[in-house]
Amino acid sequence: MTKWAVVKFLEFVDQKRGGVLVASEVIRDTNGAFEAARRVYYIVNNTGDAIKRGGHYHPHGGKQEIWLVPVGRVTTNLHSAKECQEVVLDSRDRALFIPGDVWHDARLDPGTVLICIASTNYNPAESISSLPSCACKKL
Ligand SMILES: [Zn+2]
């Protein structure tokens, strides 16, 4: 799996105690495409307006990401040399795998929480704003 992919996570509803537990073995659930989990961070949109984050890509062989949106909605634009697509994440049991060489941004609706599982530690040099080429030619 070298292309991005929306991955379904398992939900466990606890009828007795209440609540829903959502779980994934992310390396297994991406068929081994996601190589490691080294860093976890999240962005909370605590404003009353939509916010935009990201707008970069990570070169192949570097950082990979898995995005989870347990609350709210994220609209992301994905661009690669082969394909470009808008993906909406608005369900707690769906996650987005973003491999290297895929430009991505994120629009978070008010109240949204975006959790990111990254395969590498933070390195600002790994985030490059301009993609050399994308299929739709909009970047
Ligand atoms: Zn594009």
Domain 5-126 classification at class level: mainly beta
Break the chain into its structural domains and give their ranges: 5-126
**Residue type present at position 108:** L
Has this prediction a pTM greater than 0.85?
A: yes
117 pLDDT higher than 60: yes
126 pLDDT higher than 60: yes
Look at residue 11 in the predicted model and tell me its pLDDT. Answer: 95
CA of 10 to the centre of ligand 1 (A): 31
Nearest C-alpha neighbor of 78 from the set 35, 9, 2, 139? 139
pLDDT in tens, 20-58: 999 999 999 999 999 899 999 999 999 999 999 999 999
Give the count of beta carbons closer than 10 Å to the beta carbon of residue 112: 23
CA of 12 to the centre of ligand 1 (A): 37
Look at residue 128 in the predicted model and tell me its pLDDT. Answer: 95
CA of 82 to the centre of ligand 1 (A): 9
pLDDT in tens, 54-75: 999 999 888 999 999 999 999 9
CA of 138 to the centre of ligand 1 (A): 5
CA of 26 to the centre of ligand 1 (A): 27
